[in-house]
Amino acid sequence: MKKIERGAQFVAQNLQLFCCPVCQADFTKVVEHSVFCAHKHQFDLSKKGTLYLIKHGVTSDYDDDEMWQARRILLQAGLFDPIIHAIIAQMDQPTNANILDIGCGEGSVLHRLEELRQNKTESYVGFDISKRAINLATQQETTGFFCVADLAALPFRDKSFDYLIDIFSPSAYHEFKRVQTDQGKLLKIIPNANYLGELRRALYDKNDEKHAYSNQKVLDLFYQHYPEAKTQRISYEFELTPKLFENLLKMTPLQWGASKARLQEVAQKGLTKISVDVTLLMGEK
């Protein structure tokens, strides 16, 4: 089956998940490779089987093929595996669960979740604001569906997802709560002070504001919306080969504010391991 046909099939079988980004009406039908809402707004599937569900043009610092390819290499090498296992440990095995990957990037996390969960009754949807990332995500061998969408105006119906996965993405909690089922969970990963600490300290001097990091504001905001939230710290070291380190530099936004001279120096010296230090936030309504 072609990707466009697979995408059309997924939407047709899961119309109850989607709503129109233009008028917020429900999606009602799929005709060949086009999707229609109740007010007859039309959205055409791409050849890769994706939908563009943003009603305005967007620009993103993350719309970079090289960065997304580097992320895929690191994730397929296992960089986030302990994080993904911790997320899965907080998920039940309900029948017909709907799972949303917020800011899914090039799709590796969604693919790994599906691979580890091994539950064919579940529906997986990943979205990102980067069209390049979504195009790469369609290369994954997954039954999931990918679309271009804006987290501040989610093209999904109220109470449509049992699990919302958010790894390092920004948050629009009013929208997250809207699409979260009454018994659903938001599982959000935020970096701690020592996340990629070796690289941060190598790239920035002590007097630079990027030399240190605090997630307190992000944590406080989460508790404002989910006062009964639970947290779990996940901390480990990940071994790097020279090639993996090269891709780590391409993948992380930490490089964006560093001088070219410092980047070249760090690239030459390299790192043999990196610290992954994050907090899993678990929010229920």
Q: State what percent of residues in the chain have pLDDT above 70.
A: 98
Q: How much is the pLDDT for 1?
A: 86
Instruction: Give domain 52-195+206-237+276-284's CATH number out of 3.40.50.150, 3.90.550.10, 3.40.50.300, 2.40.50.100.
Output: 3.40.50.150
CA–CA separation, 2 and 109 (whole Å) = 23
Task: Provide the token pair at 282.
Answer: 């678990």
Distance CA 55, CA 74 (A): 33
DSSP string, 1-29: --HHHHHHHHHHHTGGGBB-TTT-PBEEE
180 pairs with which residues across the strands?
161
Tell me the average pLDDT across 272-280.
97
Predicted confidence band of residue 96 (pLDDT cuts 50, 70, 90): confident
CA distance 106 to 50: 13
The per-residue b/e assignment along 71-90, b for 16 or more CB within 10 angstroms, e otherwise, is bbbbbebebbbebbebbeee
Q: Which pLDDT score is estimated for 61?
A: 65
Half-sphere exposure of 225 (CA within 13 A, CB side): 21
Render pLDDT for 242-252 as a digit per residue (tens, 0 to 9). Answer: 999 999 999 99
Averaged over 258-269, what is the pLDDT? 91
SS3 content of the chain, % helix, strand, coil (to 5): 35, 25, 40
Average pLDDT over residues 188-215: 93
pLDDT per residue as tens digits for the range 109-142? 999 999 999 888 899 999 999 999 999 999 988 8
**Confidence label for 219 from pLDDT (cuts 50, 70 and 90):** very high
Distance of CA 82 to the CA centre of its chain: 16
Residue 174 known to bind ligand: no
Is 104 annotated among the ligand-binding residues? no
**Does the pLDDT at position 218 exceed 90?**
yes
Known binder of ligand: residue 80? yes
Domain ranges of the chain: 1-49, 52-195+206-237+276-284
The one-letter code for the residue type at 186 is L
Strand bridging mode 145-148 / 34-37: unpaired
* pTM tops 0.75, yes or no: yes
**Predicted pLDDT of residue 94:** 64
- Find out whether 23 is annotated in a ligand binding site: yes
Q: Cβ neighbours of residue 86 under 8 Å, at least 6 residues apart?
A: 232, 234, 280
Question: Phi, psi at residue 120, to the nearest 5°?
Answer: -75, -5
From 47-56, 89-98, 200-209, 260-269, the region with the lowest mean pLDDT: 89-98
Each residue's pLDDT tens digit, 138-188: 998 889 999 999 999 999 999 999 999 999 999 999 999 999 999 999 999
**107 assigned ligand-binding residue:** yes
Q: According to the model, what pLDDT value does residue 60 have?
A: 64
Contact call for residues 257 and 210 (beta carbons, < 8 A): yes
Task: Find the mean pLDDT for residues 193-207.
Answer: 94
Rg (CA), the chain: 19
Quick one: what percent of the chain has pLDDT higher than 90?
A: 86
User: Is the pLDDT at 258 greater than 90, yes or no?
Assistant: no
